[in-house]
Amino acid sequence: MTFAAKKNPKSFAIPKTLEKNRDPSVVCRQQLELGIVLDSSASIQLPDFNKSINFLQDYLKLFDIGQDSVRVAIIPYARGVISKNAFYLTTYNTKEDVIRAIGRITHAQGDHTDTGEGIKFMRLYQLNNALVRPGSPRLAWY
């Protein structure tokens, strides 16, 4: 979390477009390749990890998730990446499936917090040029 987010966390919790959007049930209807790098290490206590999962599920409800709109990939990490809980841009095609899959991610714990490995995995295997749709913006969230 950045210093600015600590000072005003609400400004980072809801996209700015929500303020102008007349239909708050869906914020993003355009194509977007969204990659999420999720800390599942022991540095995040289980109650806080569960809050992260709930936040992701609630936040992604604001997006139109589908093959022709927002696609989501996620990679949890602790001591390295936790690929058994990962999914890719093409794994799920509905919002419901993405939200359900996020709910199945477990708290791996482990004795390391390998953020760099999570980011590297996202860049190389989940948001690389061969996997994203041409012209679609990419957003990596960690």
- Sign of CA pseudo-dihedral 23, 26, 31, 32: positive
In degrees to the nearest 10, what's the CA dihedral of 18, 21, 24, 26?
-90
Query: What distance in Å separates the CA atoms of residue 20 and residue 99, rounded to the nearest whole number?
Result: 25
Q: Is the pLDDT of residue 123 over 50?
A: yes
CATH number listed for the domain at residues 28-141: 3.40.50.410
Query: What distance in Å separates the CA atoms of residue 59 and residue 56, rounded to the nearest whole number?
Result: 5
Q: Is the pLDDT of residue 10 over 60?
A: no
- Given the DSSP bridges, would you call strands 138-141 and 32-39 parallel, antiparallel or unpaired? parallel
* 49-to-56, 85, 136 alpha-carbon distances in Å: 11, 14, 30
Are 141 and 87 contacting, i.e. CB atoms less than 8 angstroms apart?
no
Q: What pTM was computed for the model? A: 0.79
3-state DSSP assignment of residue 114: coil
Are 94 and 65 contacting, i.e. CB atoms less than 8 angstroms apart?
yes
Query: What distance in Å separates the CA atoms of residue 6 and residue 9, rounded to the nearest whole number?
Result: 5
Residue-wise pLDDT for 33-79, tens only, equals 999 999 999 999 999 999 999 999 999 999 999 999 999 999 999 99
pLDDT score at 24: 52
More confident residue, 43 or 110: 43
pLDDT score at 44: 92
